[in-house]
Chains A and B, each alone.
Chain A
Amino acid sequence: MPIKILVTAKRVEDYESKIKVNAQGNGIVLEGLKYKINPFDEIGVEEALRLVAKHGGGEVVVASVGTKDVHEQLRHALAMGATRAIWVNHAGPLDQMTVAGCLQKLIEKEKPDLAILGKQAIDDDQNQVGQYLAEWLGWSQATFASKEESLESEAEKSKTPALQLSADAKTLTVIREVDGGLETLECSMPCVVTTDLRLNQPRYASLPGIMKAKSKPIEEHTPATLGVDATPKITVTKMEHPPARKAGIKVPDVATLMDKLKNEAKVI
């Protein structure tokens, strides 16, 4: 049975870029930065493509909120194989409520069976959009979707995947990561899933995929046309680098180590 899945493609700073706090101390220096799709979103795109392929077709719709620069990330998802894209054109600061609000409206229009988001974005590590979205839609949710074992090699691909849709597409079984292990949830559809790192290893965009992506449509909206108030409810007042780690020391014996842990570090 064909299914329709909405996924996201946030534009984030490449983790290999050198990040510096700006002079005002309220953000980062943007010059010279490289950008990429949020890796958790990329995992979401991959999982959606696999689910659609497994269930005899359907659609993977990818959405992103931001300036026209996000087309780069949308095209990346399209090159991986997503069907079409939606761009919510917005410049300036964005908070998780605005993003979740935009996605909610898009989902109400698009009516997908399932939304797959990254559990968080690697720029501000918020881990909130998926949860807001499920709450506002009144959908069930399964966060931190993960898996028990690697499914990457040919032999392993036959094993149980972390996301399984029932034959009637009414329920989704999700393996998710919890402290100290994995838990399996059964969600009624439609639902929101957020991805954890080990869920899958995303495919690389191929050259034929990149060429095909050029002609796939990108539909444009704005928060205003969707009826979402984009005024941030959160402002960043201060940003600073974490304190530099001090060099380690060598201790002569276990007794000194215990003493230092107790009296200097005060951790035991």
Chain B
Amino acid sequence: MANPLVSDRLIDFLLYEVLDAEALCALPAFSEHSRATFDPWLGACRRVAREVLWPTYRPMDLEPPRFEGGRVFVHPSMRTCWRELVGLGVLAASRPSSVGGQQLPLTVSTLSNVYLMAGNLSAYAYAGLTTGAAHLIEAFGDDAVKSSFLAAMYEGRWTGTMALTEPQAGSSLADVKSTATPTSGGRFLMKGSKIFISGGDQDVTENIVHLVLARIDGAPAGTRGISLFAVPKLRPSGEGLRANDVTIAGVIHKIGWKGLPSVALSLGDEGDCHGWLVGPANQGLKCMFQMMNEARLMVGANGAATASAAFHESLAYARERKQGRPLGSTDANAEPVALTEHPDVRRMLLRQKAIVEGSLALIGLTAQLADWSEHAEQAERRAEAKLLLDLLTPIAKTFPAEKGFEANALSLQLHGGYGYSSEYLPEAWLRDQKLNTIHEGTTTIQGLDLLGRKVIAGGGAALMALDGRVRDAVKRAQAAGFDAAPLERGMDELARVTGVLGARGASGDVLGMMGHSADFLELASTVAVGWAWVEVAARAVQNDDDFSRGLRQAASYWLATELPRAQHLARLCETNERSYLDVNEAWLD
């Protein structure tokens, strides 16, 4: 059977049983929707993922973009993928009707996009980047910018990119050096170098709009001097378009995401690169950060999707491949059995399931918070959802990427020697997955964000909100007969350690606090995914079919094998473990 990429039954269960997506339709923003629109939409995404995107995945992986004569040529099948993605309506699906969108809840669009990502991560990224860039223009652009770019982007005639990174400014965007000089016409003349810009050139659409971070001449140093600009590859000129002095300096030779070019861009080599200011001057990073939750959630979804496709591949392989005899069998003439007969193989499959489906549940919960934080009718409800959303975003970005990489390695491992060969797919997904721990803020940066900003914001209010959700889920699960006690203990650890680290930081020991950001991120992730699994288990207890049993098994597995690690991680933080804090780089070689 063909790889399903993502389990339909699981996604339906998450949407309708765990997340109660239909309840969102009571909100005015989503009143046009109901299950009668969600189901056909999911159906269409599933088909496009399986019938259009998936068959192009391997060809694109094998034939990366070419850079010739200053232009980038992508795999020819990208044209078909783009046409179908645009035709499907993914670009503006969750945008308001005022900009031609369909106001689909993010809860639904995030989980439906997982199919498209699992089918072909690179191909979907053209759409994800375009929506992200257009959304920035929609939110912060003035009428002139909007009328120049927005419709063309949401209609898929032009694509968009995020052009933040520079050679000296990766994790630290405060060090961005590109410049913008005001002109008398209200536009800016741009100058600078950007690197790793995904979708920075392609031959699929006629034009590309780069959203560029740069400094207006005379702006203050640091983050408070950075502004956001729309910089098209071709700029509107009279009735047509003309070159805008954006040069492609080269394409990056990547180990994954090979269907999507990532390029080095040079702006204004000839002094004729026009930019349009988006949002207030010097507020560029702030504007960008307002979109960060969505972008980071998308990376989490990328991670879950990549691990999901690999999980299903290894499950089918393990069912088919005959090797060895059951434990304890002494009959040398017995027929070999399927790999799934071996306990350790089943463990590796269950671990992948726990990571993949736990990630999907967490992403669904986070997306739902994004919907409530924007559209709930009561202000308190919006505020509470926003707090939780901010807290969970670094986790929903990181967990699927980091643990997804482990799941991808297990998929490869289950294929044995064949997994190590590029005739089989798991190695490709493993390469793709690695990017998700790097772009949109590395795992380290997410850890610093979580511990340095998110948990301490509002005097720990976000953590209190999570605590409330966790205990409520535990209560419901216990009442339904599922033992969720380990989650409660994990939550206790998390709450206590947050207090300890916060106090240590407040006393001036920044290293003693922030030096444990990786431990803390892992601890919080283990608990958050535990919560997601308990939410799932609480609703999967009634039935005794294979599907529900599988969910309970994976939930129990997570609580039994991972939650105890919360104690260990908590101890590292509480005792202020020094081995890695005090290491001197001179000692390392």
Interface residues of A (CB under 8 A from B): 36, 72, 75-76, 79, 153, 203-211, 214
Main secondary structure of the interface of A (DSSP, over half): helix
Query: How long is the Cα–Cα vector from A169 to B84 in the complex, in angstroms?
Result: 32
Smallest distance from the beta carbon of A249 to chain B beta carbons, Å? 16
**Does the CB pair A206–B36 fall under 8 Å?**
no
Q: For the complex, what is the distance from the CA of A76 to the CA of B44, rounded to whole Å?
A: 10
Chain A residues within 8 Å of B43, by CB? 36, 76, 205
Verify A204–B88 contact, CB threshold 8 A: yes
Check B37–A203 contact: CB distance below 8 A.
no
A208 to B44, CA, bound (A): 12
Verify B44–A210 contact, CB threshold 8 A.
yes
Chain B's nearest CB lies how many Å from the CB of A191?
31
Given known pairs A79-B40, A214-B36, A214-B37, the reply for A207 and B47 (CB within 8 Å) is no
Cβ contacts under 8 Å, B481 to chain A: none
Known contacts A211-B102, A214-B37; is-contact A206 B44 (Cβ 8 Å): yes
Chain A residues in 8 Å Cβ range of B104: 207
Q: 17 interchain pairs (CB within 8 A)?
A: A72-B40, A75-B36, A76-B40, A203-B87, A204-B87, A205-B43, A206-B44, A206-B89, A207-B41, A207-B44, A207-B104, A208-B89, A210-B40, A210-B41, A210-B44, A214-B32, A214-B36
CA distance A207 to B36 in the complex (A): 12
A206 to B45, alpha carbons, bound, how many Å? 9
Q: Smallest Cβ distance from B513 to chain A, in angstroms?
A: 46
> Which residues of chain A have C-beta atoms less than 8 A from B89's C-beta?
206-209
Flag if B48 contacts A208 (CB, 8 Å): no
CB pair B87–A75 under 8 Å, yes or no, is no
Q: A208-B89, A214-B37 are in contact. List 19 more A-B contacts (CB 8 A).
A: A76-B40, A76-B43, A153-B80, A204-B44, A204-B48, A205-B41, A205-B43, A205-B44, A206-B44, A206-B89, A207-B44, A207-B89, A207-B93, A207-B104, A209-B89, A210-B40, A210-B41, A210-B44, A211-B37
Chain B residue at minimal CB-CB distance from A210: B40
Interchain residue pairs A-B with the least CB separation, the first 10 = A207-B89, A206-B89, A205-B44, A204-B44, A207-B102, A210-B40, A208-B89, A207-B93, A206-B88, A210-B37
Q: Looking across the interface, which residue of chain B has its beta carbon closest to that of A34?
A: B8
B91's closest neighbor in chain A, by CB? A207
* Residue of A whose beta carbon sits closest to that of B48: A204
Residues of B within 8 A of A153 (CB): 80
Binding site secondary structure of chain B: helix
Chain B nearest Cβ from A136, distance in angstroms = 33
> Which of chain B's residues 34-92 have a Cβ closer than 8 Å to chain A?
36-37, 39-41, 43-44, 47-48, 80, 84, 87-90
Count chain B residues whose beta carbon lies closer than 8 angstroms to a beta carbon of A.
19
The smallest beta-carbon distance between B108 and chain A, in angstroms, is 10
CA distance A15 to B84 in the complex (A): 23
> Is B37 within 8 A of A206, CB to CB?
no
CA distance A211 to B36 in the complex (A): 10
Q: When chains A and B are docked, how far (Å) is the Cα of A211 from the Cα of B37? A: 7
Instruction: Kindly state the separation between the CA atoms of A125 and B32 in the bound complex, as whole angstroms.
Output: 38
B40 CB contacts on chain A under 8 angstroms: 72, 75-76, 79, 205, 210
Closest B residue by C-beta to A207: B89
Query: How far, in whole Å, are A75 and B34 apart by their CA atoms in the complex?
Result: 14
Mark each residue of chain B from 98 to 140: 1 if its CB lies under 8 Å from any CB of chain A, else 0.
0000101000000000000000000000000000000000000
Collect the chain B residues with CB atoms within 8 Å of residue A207's CB.
41, 44, 88-90, 93, 102, 104
Say yes or no: B32 contacts A211, CB within 8 Å.
Answer: yes
Which B residues lie within 8 Å of A36 (CB)?
43
Q: Do A206 and B32 form a contact, CB below 8 Å, given A79-B40, A211-B37?
A: no
Taking CB as reference atom, which chain A residue is nearest B2?
A16
Chain A's closest residue to B545 (CB) is A32
Complex Cα distance, B102 from A209, in Å, reads 10
With A76-B40, A79-B40, A214-B36: A208-B84 Cβ-Cβ less than 8 Å:
no
> Which residues of the other chain, A, contact B90 by a CB distance below 8 angstroms?
207
The distance from the CB of A45 to the nearest CB of chain B, in whole angstroms, is 14
A204 to B87 CA separation, bound complex (whole angstroms)? 8
The CA of A49 and the CA of B84, in the complex, are separated in Å by 17
Whose C-beta in chain A lies nearest to the C-beta of B32?
A211
In the complex, the chain B residue whose C-beta lies closest to that of A76 is B40
Q: How far is the CA of A225 from the CA of B169 in the complex (A)?
A: 73
Residues in A with CB closer than 8 Å to B84 are: 204
A205 contacts across to B, CB distance below 8 A:
40-41, 43-44
- Please, which residues of chain A bring their CB within 8 A of the CB of B36? 75, 214
Complex-state Cα separation, A206 to B102, whole angstroms: 11
Complex CA distance for A72 and B34, rounded to whole angstroms:
13
- Asked whether, in the complex, the Cβ of B47 is within 8 Å of the Cβ of A204, the reply is yes
Q: How far is the CB of B12 from chain A (nearest CB, A)?
A: 10
A36 to B44, CA, bound (A): 12
A206 to B87: give the CA distance in the assembly, Å: 6
Q: How far is the CB of B154 from chain A (nearest CB, A)?
A: 11
Residues of A within 8 A of B32 (CB): 211, 214
Provide the residues of chain B in CB contact with A76, threshold 8 Å: 40, 43
Which residues on the B side are within 8 Å of A209 (C-beta)?
89
**Complex Cα–Cα for A203 and B52 (A):** 11
Cα separation A75 to B43 with both chains bound (whole Å): 13
Residue-by-residue, is B9-52 near A (CB-CB < 8 Å gives 1, otherwise 0)? 00000000000000000000000100011011101100110000
8 A Cβ contacts from B159-194 to A: none
The winner among B41, B48, B84 for most chain A CB atoms within 10 A is: B41
